[in-house]
C-alpha cells in the first residue's frame, strides 16, 4: 500500500512539474533558442492610445533581423522607396538624399538576452547604431513567438506610442 501511494504521489508531482509553463518553456528549448535565426520584416508601426498609427518605414517596409543562439543580434529597417543618389556615389549625396536615408533607415547590432521566458521580456544592448543616441544603451522588448511569426512590442517607443513589429522566419 505504501508503494502504491508513493508511486501515485510521484506521478502527480511529475505531471505538475511538466505541466507548468516554466517546464514547457525549458522543454521547448527556452525563448532564446526558439527565436534564434533569421527573420524577414512583415510590418512595423507605432500606435497611440487615441488610435493614431504611424508607419515610419512606409506601407511596404523592408528589414531583416538575425538573432544568434549565443545572444548576438543585427537588425535593419528601410523604406522600400528610398531615392537613389544622383551622383551614384554614397559619399556625394545631396542634403535631401542624406535626409531621406537618415529618416528612412535604421540599423543596429549588439547583444541580447531573454530576461523571462514566460512573459517574453528581452533586453537588447545596442553596441552600434545608425541612430547614435542608442549606442551603449539597453532596450526592453516584449517578444512572442507563434509558429514562424515573431511579434515584438515596445510599450514606450522612442518616437512615441507603442511600437509593433512582426517578423517572419526566413527560409
CATH code at position 74: 2.40.128.280
Q: Has residue 6 been placed in a domain?
A: no
Q: What is the pLDDT of residue 7?
A: 36
Grid cell in block for residue 50: 487615441
Binned at pLDDT 50, 70 and 90, residue 9 comes out as: very low
Q: Is residue 8 part of a domain?
A: no
Q: Which domain holds residue 58?
A: 29-169
- Tens digits of per-residue pLDDT, 131-163? 999 999 999 999 999 999 999 999 877 778 999
- Per the domain annotation, does 13 fall within a domain? no
Residue 50 belongs to some domain of the structure:
yes
160 is a domain residue:
yes
In a 10 Å sphere around its CB, with 0-12 CB exposed, 13-18 middle and 19+ buried, how is residue 33 labelled?
A: middle
Rounded Cα distance, 128 and 75, in Å? 11
The domain total for the chain is 1
* 61 occurs within a structural domain: yes
pLDDT above 90 (res 2): no
- pTM of the shown model: 0.80
pLDDT for position 154: 93
Kindly state whether residue 10 falls inside one of the protein's structural domains.
Answer: no
- Give alpha helix (H) positions in the chain: 2-19, 21-27, 30-35, 95-104
Amino acid at each position: 500500500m505504501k508503494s502504491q501511494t508513493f508511486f501515485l504521489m510521484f506521478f502527480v508531482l511529475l505531471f505538475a512539474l511538466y505541466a507548468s509553463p516554466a517546464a514547457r518553456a525549458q522543454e521547448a528549448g527556452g525563448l532564446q533558442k526558439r527565436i534564434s535565426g533569421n527573420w524577414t520584416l512583415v510590418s512595423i508601426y507605432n500606435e497611440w492610445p487615441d488610435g493614431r498609427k504611424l508607419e515610419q518605414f512606409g506601407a511596404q517596409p523592408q528589414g531583416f533581423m538575425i538573432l544568434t543562439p549565443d545572444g548576438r543580434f543585427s537588425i535593419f529597417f528601410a523604406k522600400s522607396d528610398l531615392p537613389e543618389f544622383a551622383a551614384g556615389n554614397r559619399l556625394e549625396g545631396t542634403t535631401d538624399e542624406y535626409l531621406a536615408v537618415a529618416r528612412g533607415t535604421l540599423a543596429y547590432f549588439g547583444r541580447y538576452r531573454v530576461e523571462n521566458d514566460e512573459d517574453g521580456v528581452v533586453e537588447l544592448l545596442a553596441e552600434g547604431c545608425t541612430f547614435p543616441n542608442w549606442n551603449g544603451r539597453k532596450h526592453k522588448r516584449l517578444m512572442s513567438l507563434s509558429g514562424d511569426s515573431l511579434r515584438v512590442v515596445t510599450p514606450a517607443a522612442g518616437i512615441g506610442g507603442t511600437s509593433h513589429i512582426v517578423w517572419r522566419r526566413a527560409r
